[in-house]
Amino acid sequence: MAEMVASTDRTRIDPKDGPTLALLAAWVVALLATLGVLFIGEIMGQQPCILCWYQRAAMFPLALILGLAAWRGDLGIWRYALPIAAAGMVTAAFHALLYFGVIPEGIEPCGAGPSCIDAQMTILGLPIPVLSFAAFLGIADLLLRVRKGSQR
């Protein structure tokens, strides 16, 4: 009887479990993105624009809560982290459209401070808003895999 209870206990998750690996990968993406923007701002000295701040407001807590959830094996974190990742992704998509000129400059929310369309908004030849969008998209995809795997 005790063996049956232990086998159904989901608090101890096998590290080879797909949803667990997806959660760990989502945390790694969020952590790397967080460290990347801190490097850009603090080491390279690039001031973030308003939209960058909004994206940071979404990414920084993801790095924290996904790390805690991975450590605890909490596969239910997708319920809280996915909306944050979606909000960051929408902001990053708007920022990328602004960067590429799809959205007219008259709508630009960054009238004061650094410009969203400045040439300094690139890292390794890739625009920062596109990198941000890719990070949020990757996190959202991984969280959807966590959701799918946790509902078995």
Q: State the Cα–Cα distance between residues 27 and 62, nearest whole angstrom.
A: 7
Q: What pLDDT is recorded for position 51? A: 86
Report how many domains make up the chain. Answer: 1
Decide if 124 is inside a domain. Answer: yes
Decide if 7 is inside a domain. Answer: no
Q: What pLDDT is recorded for position 5? A: 42
For 108, phi and psi rounded to 5 degrees? Answer: -55, 120
Q: What pLDDT is recorded for position 103? A: 82
Decide if 29 is inside a domain. Answer: yes
Q: What pLDDT is recorded for position 3? A: 47
Which of 73-97 are b and which e, b meaning 16 or more Cβ less than 10 Å from the residue's Cβ? bbbebbeebbebbbebbebbbbbbe
> Which H or E run includes 139?
helix 128-150
Could you tell me the CATH number of the domain that includes residue 33? Answer: 1.20.1550.10
Decide if 134 is inside a domain. Answer: yes
Decide if 13 is inside a domain. Answer: no
List of residues 6+ apart from 47 with CB closer than 8 A? 41, 113, 114
Q: What pLDDT is recorded for position 44? A: 78
Q: What pLDDT is recorded for position 98? A: 85
Q: What pLDDT is recorded for position 118? A: 63
Decide if 141 is inside a domain. Answer: yes
Decide if 133 is inside a domain. Answer: yes
Q: What pLDDT is recorded for position 40? A: 83
Decide if 3 is inside a domain. Answer: no
For 151, phi and psi rounded to 5 degrees? Answer: -100, 15
Residue-number span of the structural domain to which 132 is assigned? 18-150
Running along the chain, 152 residues long, what does each successive block of 10 average in pLDDT? 45 63 94 92 82 92 95 91 96 89 71 61 82 96 88 63
